[in-house]
């Protein structure tokens, strides 16, 4: 495995993962898939890391999807293996116990757009261009796109974008709710880090439970969802952090949360 396909740095509770194949628009091959999978599993249990930011190397691309040069060499069984692996990986990102922010610094097409959809929050630079373009290759989004896009932006708009394979620019992505916000490319990482830093001020167990309640609650009816919310709340009640939050409020100081 080539370790350089994924760069990882950590600072102040934030892990930044950079897809690092800029010569081919950070397209995902098996090597990058395996590197990302290993890193995500590692970050799941890593103490002290509260938020993960995923971005792409260079100024052109977040990720242009599956590596079509590698794809041309795969037989049918290997294509299936790739699809299962990428779908499971993106689901593990969506269900990760920590928030994940996509810093979309350029084109996000096919699997690249699906990677951003698996993240909790998407912030895009003005030069970003996004699309689920798979139908133009006579295939369909296979890493969660047919499911996550309509859940995020609604069925009609998702069908339009998937059926046409149309690419949209940052402004339209913002307008239809595909991204949370847009900013200049120079500011992108700082904007993501600012949001991550705010999340780092909150209680770790609270964030894990909030993400859990939103993710699982959304997939069910409201009464079941509310029961999931209650149970997630109950997890926070016996924590040291909850008492620390109340004490800090009383003492007019910033709370220091320990994830306990
Ligand atoms: N897989 C493999 N290589 C890719 C790639 C992909 N998904 N996307 C881009 N590249 C490569 C190009 O082949 C080119 O390499 P080359 O110089 O060796 O030919 C390099 O990245 C730069 O891309 P290029 O097409 O020259 O740049 P561009 O700015 O004109 O266009 C894209 C960029 C991303 C719009 C265009 O490359 C594209 O449409 N890529 C395919 C995206 C796609 O369909 N993804 C879904 C896959 S399921």
Alpha helices (runs of H) in the chain, residue ranges in sequence order: 30-44, 68-71, 76-94, 111-118, 145-153, 155-164, 170-175, 188-200, 204-217, 222-236, 240-250
Cβ-contact 100, 138 below 8 angstroms: no
Pairing verdict, β 121-125 and 6-11: unpaired
Active site residue 240: no
pLDDT digits (tens, 9 = 90+) for 99-117: 999 999 999 999 999 999 9
The answer to whether the CB of 52 falls within 8 A of the CB of 97 is no
What domain range is 236 assigned to? 204-251
CATH classification at residue 237 = 1.10.12.10
The pTM (predicted TM-score) of the whole model is: 0.97
pLDDT in tens, 128-181: 999 999 999 999 999 999 999 999 999 999 999 999 999 999 999 999 999 999
Residue 259 has pLDDT above 60, yes or no: yes
| Annotation marks residue 61 as catalytic | no
Provide φ and ψ at 18, rounded to 5°.
Answer: -120, 115
Q: What pLDDT sits at residue 1?
A: 47
- Nearest one of 76, 10, 85, 23 to 49, comparing CA atoms: 10
Ligand 1 centroid to residue 191 C-alpha, Å: 27
Separation of CA 22 and ligand 1 centre (Å): 10
pLDDT at 3: 60
Per-chain mean pLDDT for the chain: 97
Residues 196 and 236 reside in one and the same domain: no
Determine the atom of ligand 1 nearest the C-alpha atom of 61.
34
Pocket lined around ligand 1, Cβ cut-off 6 Å: 24-25, 27, 64-69, 107, 109-111, 133-134, 137
Give pLDDT, residue 18. Answer: 98
Same domain, 154 and 234: no
**What is the whole-number distance in angstroms between the Cα of residue 77 and the centre of ligand 1?**
24
Structural domain count of the chain: 2
């Amino acid at each position: 495995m080539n370790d350089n396909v994924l760069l990882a740095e950590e600072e102040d509770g934030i892990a930044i993962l950079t897809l690092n194949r800029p010569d081919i628009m950070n397209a995902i091959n098996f090597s990058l898939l395996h590197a990302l999978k290993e890193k995500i599993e590692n970050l799941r249990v890593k103490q002290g890391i509260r938020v993960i930011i995923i971005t792409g190397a260079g100024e052109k691309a977040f990720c242009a999807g599956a590596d079509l040069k590698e794809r041309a060499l795969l037989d049918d069984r290997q294509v299936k293996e790739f699809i299962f692996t990428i779908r499971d990986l993106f689901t593990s990102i969506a269900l990760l116990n920590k928030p994940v922010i996509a810093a979309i610094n350029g084109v996000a097409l096919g699997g690249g757009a699906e990677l951003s959809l698996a993240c909790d929050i998407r912030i895009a630079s003005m030069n970003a261009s996004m699309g689920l373009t798979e139908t133009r290759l006579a295939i369909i989004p296979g890493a969660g796109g047919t499911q996550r896009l309509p859940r995020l932006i609604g069925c009609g708009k998702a069908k339009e974008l998937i059926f046409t394979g149309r690419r949209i620019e940052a402004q339209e992505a913002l307008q239809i709710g595909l991204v949370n916000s847009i900013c200049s490319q120079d500011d992108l990482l700082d904007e993501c880090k600012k949001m991550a830093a705010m999340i780092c001020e909150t209680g770790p167990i609270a964030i894990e439970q909030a993400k859990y309640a939103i993710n699982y609650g959304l997939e069910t009816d409201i009464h079941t969802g509310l029961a999931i919310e209650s149970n997630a709340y109950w997890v926070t009640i016996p924590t040291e952090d909850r008492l620390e939050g109340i004490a800090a409020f009383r003492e007019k100081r910033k709370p220091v949360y320990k994830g306990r």
